[in-house]
Each structure stands twice: as structure tokens, then as C-alpha cells.
Amino acid sequence: MTANVATELSYDLIQPEPSALVESLRAFGYSLQMAIADLIDNSIAAKAKNIWVHFEWNGTDSRIMIKDDGQGMIEDTLIAAMRPGSQSPLEERLPKDLGRFGLGLKTASFSQCRRLTVVSKVTNGALTARCWDLDYVNKTKEWRLLKINELEPLTLLNETIPNHGTIVLWQKMDRLTKNTRSDDNKAYNRFLEAIENVKQHLEMIFHRYLERQNGLKIWVNGNLISAWDPFLRDEKATQELPEEKLICDGKELSVIPYVLPHQSKISQDVHKRASGPYNWNTQQGFYVYRNERLLVGGDWLNLGFQKEEHYKLARIRIDLPNFMDSEWQLDVKKSRAKPPGYLKVDLKRIALLTRERALEIYRHRGKVIARQNAKNFAFLWEQKLRHGKFFYSINRDHPLVQQVYRSGNKTELNALLSMLEECIPISHILIKNAEDPENFNSAYENSPSEALQNVLTNSFIALLNSGIDAEDSKKRLQGMDPFNLFPDFVAQFLNKISEERK
């Protein structure tokens, strides 16, 4: 009788060459703001309530520090966390875990610096610290994780560590400040710009954590940041369409479309902030969240849609639990998500509906001319057709135009209006609008209130002089361009007129 004997496969043991691999780990494509957001994920997973991001300018010796008051790590846990690939992406994660690949701390940090130091402390525990110095790894050709007390006095960091928590320190930041002097003003301004970019990015990525009552607090260089809500849920004119539940990987995911208000329905400050870090056009599309952490902020997810001015008010929220990472092909940087093929029909249907609603709002409140059912007096410009081509003319029946006709030389005024109409710089406007659509002023934007008051008063007088009674004139003013963009201002004016006429 022959016994079953397990035969061991022959093999060669191949260890990754440290200096080659560590340089490859730097090439994952992180931006500075993505890298810092990845580290904040670790702080949130450690149940931090406060996170401090500190940028220190000193030319090539500049540093960035991320500190939290989370649970902290004991020495063995810290050493494991510093190991590249510290946890398999196949392992089941806790429901609130924001990680997946066990690479974030290392790849995010290595993408920005050549020296990564982590100092941590648990409640009533000892301070523990370790450091990766990539130049030292390259020199020794070994994965030597350094102890901090062999590099610099431990007391320097001991003064900044909370009772429990973690500090991540980046030094030798060759991607941001390599070979720059501390007195290099251009480099310093780039450094300041990088700080602002990080701030705006964190306000967007973690807005659902920041907006909770007694929720997460993040400071950037001592300044508490505020949540950036892409959906303007606190604005009355925001439309929240019905939530849909889609089945993915046997579980439900939530999809909620939003149509944001037209500019005329919100204040200038709200409109400016709602444009987000990247402007209105870029921010349209799907917002994909994983455990309330934003992964993708404004993207049509390769569903066949382009980002166009007319659809900039459409934003759609998708909420994923962390066990759908594989189905949605999440990457290490947590900046890309690709929906599975079987969801694309539903997502495209939802996108089409939301875009149509956004287009209706854009046309209804944004169009200055060519309204089909408007009365003659309401709009200054008219769209017309001549020899098969569109052109725009000034409405000769507008009460202000009629008023000037009555008081001046009609022939000369017609000649002036004709010249203005024929010389509209349409090509220049189109080019500028395509290049920077957000940089156009709306009617009387930032103008002194006296200018609007003067036009409003003269328009009211012109309506009265045309034979329209006072009450009807007031109603018509409220629907007339551009006064329909300033309902509160018009209401105050009309109240004043009513008081004066008593």
C-alpha cells in the first residue's frame, strides 16, 4: 500500500529589490491634495475627532504634518502599518473602514516626500515612532525601517503629540519644494497656492463628516475648514429628485439626483462657493461616495455625456458601502470609480432625467431673449431670423426705448441702435464663453445699487408714460429683464413708490 505523500513544489525565492520598488511606489499618480486626503482616511478610521494639517515653509526643507487625536497605535501595530501592503485588499473590512489596499499611508506619503515619519501614542501608552527614509533604503538596498530616536530628539515630537493620537510628518518633499530657497517668492507663492488647493479639496471630500453636528473638525494651518456641500441642500430652490435604490452585488446602493438653483435664485456668495474647487461646468455629474467619503466629485462616469454649460446644475449622489470596491473598480488613490456594466442603463436613465430638469431650469431662468409667450415690453433683446440666419435686435417696443423715441431724434436713435445690433461681437463672446463661461457678469452684477435704482425708476416712469396704470406697471416691472433677477430690490422699490403715492 502506497501512502499519499504531498510533494512540495520547487521554487525560487525572489525578493523585490528595495530601491527599485520603493521608487515605483512613488508613481501611483497622487496629487498633493489626494495624498493628504488618504492620510486623513486613516485618522477617521482611528476615530479621530480633530485633525490638524500644518504646512511649514522653509524652501527645500519645508515640511507637512498631519496630526490627529485618534486611538493611536502601539509599537507592533505601527510597524505593521509601515509595511507596504500591510493588509490584503481581499480581507473583509469593518463597515466604516475607509481603506482597502493596505498601501495608502506609504504610497500617498512616498508620492510627495522621501522621508516619512510616523509617531503614535495610545492612552496611557508609550510614545512609539518609525521612519522610512527612501535615500537610506536606496543606499543600503534593504527595507530598513528606522527608529526615530536614532534620527532626532524624540522630545521635539513629544511636545506636539496629543494624549493619544498619531502624527505623520513629511520631509524631503522633492515633488513640491525640491531645490528651492526659503527666499524664493515664486516658490513660496506656489506653496501657498498648494495649501489653498488642499483646503478646498478636503472641504469637498469630507464634507459629510464636517457638516455633522459635533462631527469631525479639520484645521489647515490653524484655520478650521468648513464643509462644501455640492448639492446646496440648504437652499430652498434646490430640487431633490426621488431617491432610487439599485441592486449591486446583491446589495442596495442609493442614488439621489439634485438640480441646483439658477444663479438668480441664490446669493452671489452662495453661487461663487457652489462652483467648487474646479468651477460650475466641471462639477456637474455624479458624486460617488464610499462610507460618506467622496471618491469622485463631478463625473458622468463614461456614460456618453459631455460636460456642457446647459447641464451644469445637474449633480447626482451615489452612496456605496465599502464591500462594493471590486464591483466599482476603486483604485488605490480613491479617486476613480467605474460602475459595473449592468448598472449603466439605470444610471444613464437617471442622468438623462436629471440633465433634462437642469436644462429646463437653465432655459427658464437663464435665457435673456427669444421667449415665445412673453409680452412685448418685457425683454430688451429679440431673436429674429434673416435670410435663414439668426440675429439679435433691440426691442423697439421696450418702454425705455419708446421713452427715448418720444424725447429725442427718432432717425438718429434708429441709426445708433442699428449700428449696435450689427456690431455685436458674437464670435468673441462665443470664444470667451467656451474658454471661461464662469467669468461672465450677469446683469448688474457687482454694480452699485444706485445704477439699478436709476434704471428701475426710469423704466417705471416709461411704463406710466406709455399709458399703463401704476398697479399694472408694478406687476410688469417684476417680470421685466433684468429686474426679475432682483426680486427683493424691486419689492423694496415698489413699497417705497406705494408709500410715496399715498
Q: What is the pLDDT of residues 344-388, one digit of tens each?
A: 988 999 999 999 999 888 876 544 333 333 344 556 776 666 665
Structure confidence by residue, pLDDT tens digits, 279-312:
899 999 999 999 899 999 899 999 999 999 889 9
Structure confidence by residue, pLDDT tens digits, 134-191:
999 999 999 999 987 655 545 555 556 668 999 999 999 999 998 899 999 999 999 9
Is the model's pTM score more than 0.95? no
pLDDT for 433 equals 66
As a whole number of angstroms, the distance between CA 196 and CA 307 comes to: 25
SS3 of 64, please? strand
What does the block give as the cell for 347? Answer: 444610471
As a whole number of angstroms, the distance between CA 166 and CA 38 comes to: 14
Give the helix/strand (H/E) hosting 298. strand 293-299
**Residue 150 CB coordination number (10 Å):** 8
pLDDT for 260 equals 95
As a whole number of angstroms, the distance between CA 198 and CA 125 comes to: 32
Structure confidence by residue, pLDDT tens digits, 73-98:
999 999 999 988 645 443 454 544 44
Contact present, 256 and 240 (Cβ < 8 Å): yes
As a whole number of angstroms, the distance between CA 325 and CA 289 comes to: 11
For residue 321, the one-letter residue type is P
Helices and strands, number each (H, E), in the chain: 17, 16
Q: Which residues of 245-256 are buried (b: 16+ CB within 10 A; e: fewer)?
A: ebebeeeebebb
Closest by CA position to 40, among listed 218, 224, 297: 218
As a whole number of angstroms, the distance between CA 317 and CA 231 comes to: 9
Cell 466599482, residue located: 328
